[in-house]
Amino acid sequence: MNVGVLVSGTGTNLQALLDAQARGELAPAVIAAVISNRPGVPALERAARAGVPAAVVEHRGLSREAFEDRLLAALAAHGVLPPADAPPTSAPAAGAPAAEPPAGGAVVLAGFMRVLTPHFVDRFPLRIVNTHPSILPAFPGVDAPAQALAHGVKLTGVTVHFVDATLDGGPIIAQVAVPIEPGDDVGSLRARIQREEHRLLPRVVQRLAAGQLSCQGRHVTEARAE
């Protein structure tokens, strides 16, 4: 399954995906494109070093819809097609295991700092995932580690979820708790959270591409590996 990764900055989560791919742990997901809404960010260098096609689609000066149309075009140009536009995969023979990944591509938001509207999101239903550095629904939006510290919680963590048109509000796929230690500051807490998300995000992307995530309402279930 072709996967487009949308980024805006440092790209450590992108790096975790690229490293998982290099180790052979991401298949059947294939990172087909990295698209940044900001030029010159380190995430683009990470893509280049890994030999993955990268593009910049700037949002400045564009309506949200026009920006999203350009994102969709850039993804399609790299073979990341919405499920409805993708050629159908052949049905497995009777009695054979469902070996083929689902038709169409997927999109990973890896530190992508734009809210996507239904214009984009509705093209990839249950095919867009985001990683967020808190245990949602606590602390949505920006600066989640700082929000957690300011609130005085003892545990925070990471959430990987499907993206809908709400801010960090789509169905939750997986979460890992991270304790807040005495003396933590935003930097130390963020680093501890990121260690977990770098493990969790590639695993979720692999499961999504393998067709092993299903969602009913808000409830996501993961098929067990055979």
Instruction: Given the residues 132, 151, 198, 219, select the one marked as catalytic.
Output: 132
Contact flag: residue 11 with ligand GRF (CB under 6 A): yes
We find the least distance from the C-beta atom of residue 94 to ligand GRF, in angstroms, to be 43
Contact flag: residue 111 with ligand GRF (CB under 6 A): yes
Please name the residue that has the structure tokens 């590639």: 202
132 is catalytic: yes
Report CA dihedral (198, 201, 204, 209) to the nearest 10 degrees. -110
Is 135 in contact with 157 (CB distance < 8 Å)?
A: yes
Q: 3-class SS at 3?
A: strand
We find the least distance from the C-beta atom of residue 216 to ligand GRF, in angstroms, to be 26
Is 32 in contact with 105 (CB distance < 8 Å)?
A: yes
164, two tokens: 């809908």
Residues with Cβ within 8 Å of 24's Cβ and at least 6 positions away in sequence, in order, are none
Nearer to ligand GRF, 4 or 111 (CB): 111
Nearer to ligand GRF, 131 or 206 (CB): 131
Contact flag: residue 38 with ligand GRF (CB under 6 A): no
Q: Please give the Cα distance from 115 to 170 (Å, whole number).
A: 12
We find the least distance from the C-beta atom of residue 131 to ligand GRF, in angstroms, to be 4
Contact flag: residue 110 with ligand GRF (CB under 6 A): yes
State the residues that interact with ligand GRF by CB under 6 A.
Answer: 9-13, 110-111, 131-133, 194, 197
Which residues are designated catalytic? 132
